[in-house]
Amino acid sequence: MYRVPPCTYHFAILQSFPYPECIITAPAPYTPTEFEKVTYYYGIPPDPPELLYRSNWADTPFYRPTGGRFQHIPAKTAHGIFNTPLNPVWRTVAPQIRDELKRRKIRYSAIHTARFASEDGKGLITVTENRKKDTLGPVVIWIAVHPGSTTAEDAHLASPAILALLEAHGVRGTVVEWYEGAVRRL
Residue 21 lies in a domain: no
In whole angstroms, give the CA distance from residue 168 to residue 78: 26
Nearest CA to 146 out of 176, 182, 179 is that of 182
pLDDT of the residue at 114: 95
pLDDT of the residue at 72: 73
Give the range of the structural domain holding residue 169, as residue numbers without chain letter. 29-180
**What are 120-135's pLDDT values in tens digits?**
655 555 554 444 444 6
What domain count does the chain have?
1
Which amino acid does the sequence have at 137? G
What are the residue ranges in the chain where pLDDT is below 50?
1-22, 128-134
pLDDT of the residue at 186: 81
Residue 132 lies in a domain: yes
Instruction: Say whether 14 sits in a helix, a strand or coil.
Output: helix
Residue 35 lies in a domain: yes
Residue 97 lies in a domain: yes
Is the pTM for the entire model greater than 0.85?
no
pLDDT of the residue at 120: 62
